[in-house]
A and B are shown apart, each in its own frame.
Chain A
């Protein structure tokens, strides 16, 4: 009983949405090409697990690769800007401008530059992760604990020792913020890019199904996308929280 009420308390919004969806389809007597009912959609997912899993895995792999590359380069360039005042002067304004440009705007440009294939999708995700990482890690490298700068001076720390033992660890919480922001964004960027130009993955699967009016398949894909995005977000959020408590 308490289990059930707990489940209801947590998921009432989702259940309400499903009920409204079912109610609307039944009351308006909609054709399944316009909007299928929830159960057939769920049935399509459950009866083709391999297909959905393979495409979801493909999309997540693309997103992971892209986010990893974007985070890595973003952090690297932030460190370069920390080390060189000249680079900082050039890169910081660029980073601030580009981190506020939506990914959608970059897709056609990157596709034109790199060609229409999977590596372009990875590149799009990487670019969407790069700029927020650069901005956040750059700020983290300067956000040192009180007195730490003086401490490293009296310890006779070289610039390399300062970077390794003070500046880089100090930036870890901000790297985790960048991760929390870029992971869900990366998943969405991957799906969007697959939708627009892919040959596989959830985004492509949705477009392919929708183009032949297989609405159960299309909505099933949306369902899987939503679940995957929520999972990624809550994982990244939890990781950030763990690190933040460890660091304060």
Chain B
């Protein structure tokens, strides 16, 4: 497919190794070439420890590549963060324990030094289903509720790039499905370049334009799949034979040993 516009996010020949305390080094990523077009939704699937979070942290500017380059709009990722245009929901929610849910979600405004839009904060609280918990503190919430609060916080400044690291991992199946539908709806209303790390094949197919399957030790990209379903996607897509065929294909790609059986 010819690309008229340059990629919003590019990883070129990226490898990342970590030096451990005992002096050894682990290679977490090797030879990663990945591009996300502006407004594209890409999901990353792979077994745990294969380097998915490391890819996300490189794009967020929290790690620097050992070799190769990571560029967002042709510039260093830290510049996007400095412009308050980056939204990240971390695997371990990272809510501040002394702030209420509403205050946590409003934190990006305060850090950016701009006026808090309380109406927007309340709208997001409702969107993630935490109405009635706006004044609760994180320690009073379940794991799934904390994750939802952290997703609302990632969205509050209306970012241009959204990075989600297994954001629905602690949710029950019904809430997860509901959050998937809501995220799809938000995502359809604006241009938001998104990288979603997930364990769920269903979730990846329902939400993403393109799916990257990774393998571990060292982390590499095994294959890329373009999701054929048109948008907006109704949850009924999840019951079509095409959907199930794609789930099977990706599940096999993730677990090659089963393919040999």
Q: A147-B90, A151-B90 are in contact. Are A156 and B83 (CB under 8 A)?
A: yes
For the complex, is B6 an interface residue (Cβ under 8 Å from A)? no
Q: How many angstroms between the C-alpha atoms of A166 and B86 in the bound complex?
A: 19
Q: Do residues B111 and A152 form an inter-chain contact, with CB atoms below 8 A?
A: yes
Find the B residue at minimum CB distance from A246: B98
For the complex, is A150 an interface residue (Cβ under 8 Å from B)? yes
For the complex, is B237 an interface residue (Cβ under 8 Å from A)? no
Q: A150-B90, A153-B61, A154-B86 are in contact. Are A248 and B111 (CB under 8 A)?
A: no
For the complex, is A242 an interface residue (Cβ under 8 Å from B)? no
> Closest approach, in angstroms, between the C-beta of A82 and any C-beta of chain B?
18
For the complex, is A148 an interface residue (Cβ under 8 Å from B)? yes
Q: How many angstroms between the C-alpha atoms of A155 and B84 in the bound complex?
A: 6
For the complex, is B93 an interface residue (Cβ under 8 Å from A)? yes
Q: Do residues B97 and A165 form an inter-chain contact, with CB atoms below 8 A?
A: no
Q: Do residues B113 and A156 form an inter-chain contact, with CB atoms below 8 A?
A: no
Find the B residue at minimum CB distance from A169: B98
Q: How many angstroms between the C-alpha atoms of A151 and B57 in the bound complex?
A: 11
Q: How many angstroms between the C-alpha atoms of A170 and B97 in the bound complex?
A: 9
For the complex, is A157 an interface residue (Cβ under 8 Å from B)? yes
Find the A residue at minimum CB distance from B163: A154
In the complex, per-residue mask of B141-168: 1 if CB is within 8 Å of any chain A CB, else 0: 0000000000000000000000100000
Chain B residues with a Cβ under 8 A of chain A: 57, 60-62, 81-84, 86, 88, 90, 92-98, 107-108, 110-113, 137, 139, 163
Chain A residues with a Cβ under 8 A of chain B: 145-148, 150-157, 161, 165-166, 169-170, 172, 246-248
Closest 10 CB pairs of A and B: A147-B94, A156-B81, A156-B82, A154-B88, A151-B94, A155-B111, A157-B111, A247-B98, A161-B111, A156-B84
